[in-house]
Amino acid sequence: MDKPEITTLALARSLNCIETIFAENKALRREKQFFDYLMVLDFEATCWNKTDYDKGQSEIIEFPCVLYDVVNDKVISEFQQYVMPTERQKLSTFCTELTGIQQTQVDNGVPLKTCLVLFHRWLNQQILKYNISLKFPTSFCKTCVFATWSDWDLGNCLKNECRRKGIIRHDMFNRWIDVRSLYVEHYNVKPKGLLGALNEVGLTFEGTQHCGLHDARNTAKLIGKMVNDGVGLRITKDISNK
């Protein structure tokens, strides 16, 4: 008679250390990822109802970014800045209701150009503190790239606004991970927004939807789950030559 095969899992079960095995697998998946850190961002922008007759182009009104530590599965630093729109300074009722962002918050905000200076200052602090490099491959530094829910934030919103306003955009904004496309590829479902994606994998949205900072935190939370589920983090979009 053949000997029954003793799998690692069966052995772990008999020794009562299943949890340890799973925890080790998850830790391994994190350490094997190409990226050590992600800068998860989610812009909020001016918007209008379909029926509003006086519509404009989207301008960023909230610029949040969270630094997510992939190996330790946690957000380790946050940046948030309200931005003053300059093309259409008055927010529509629809926009305020959707995002929760008040007119006074953008009136007291800074123009996009200043916001980018503040963002770079925060980013440089993180780069020094965690020995991060946004260029890769590198053997000395930790790897990091932007991650967003969909291509809209960096592929449309920031790019178009900078072009219209003559603002020079740093190279690093040209490459990112679209979390949505990795999600669709891995789970083979088209989620209804970030909220739907979280719910689909058994997570809840913490905070308020369409608050950029909360959206960014929840995107990081979703990435954590996706990594546990075996998703390999990789750049999905590069517009360097476009």
Stretch that binds ligand AMP, among 24-32, 44-52, 199-207, 234-242 (CB under 6 A): 44-52
Q: Residue 215 interacts with Mg ion (CB under 5 A)?
A: yes
Please classify residue 237 by burial: count the beta carbons closer than 10 Å to its beta carbon, then call 0-12 exposed, 13-18 middle and 19+ buried: middle
- 58 within 8 A of 47, measured Cβ to Cβ: yes
Q: Does 45 bind ligand AMP (CB under 6 A)?
A: yes
Residue with tokens 């053949």: 2
Strand positions, DSSP E, 87-235: 132-133, 142-148, 175-178
41-49, 81-89, 114-122, 180-188 -> range binding ligand AMP (CB under 6 A):
41-49
| Tokens linked to 146 | 């932007």
Non-local CB neighbours of 108 within 8 Å, separated by 6+ positions: 82, 84
Which among 59, 62, 161, 210 is annotated as catalytic?
Answer: 210
Partner from ligand AMP, Mg ion, none binding residue 58, C-beta < 5-8 Å depending on class: ligand AMP
Q: For ligand AMP, give the closer residue by CB, 44 or 161.
A: 44
Give the one residue of 30, 40, 41, 42 binding Mg ion; rule: CB under 5 A.
42
Interaction site with ligand AMP (CB under 6 A): 42, 44-45, 47, 58, 98-99, 210, 215
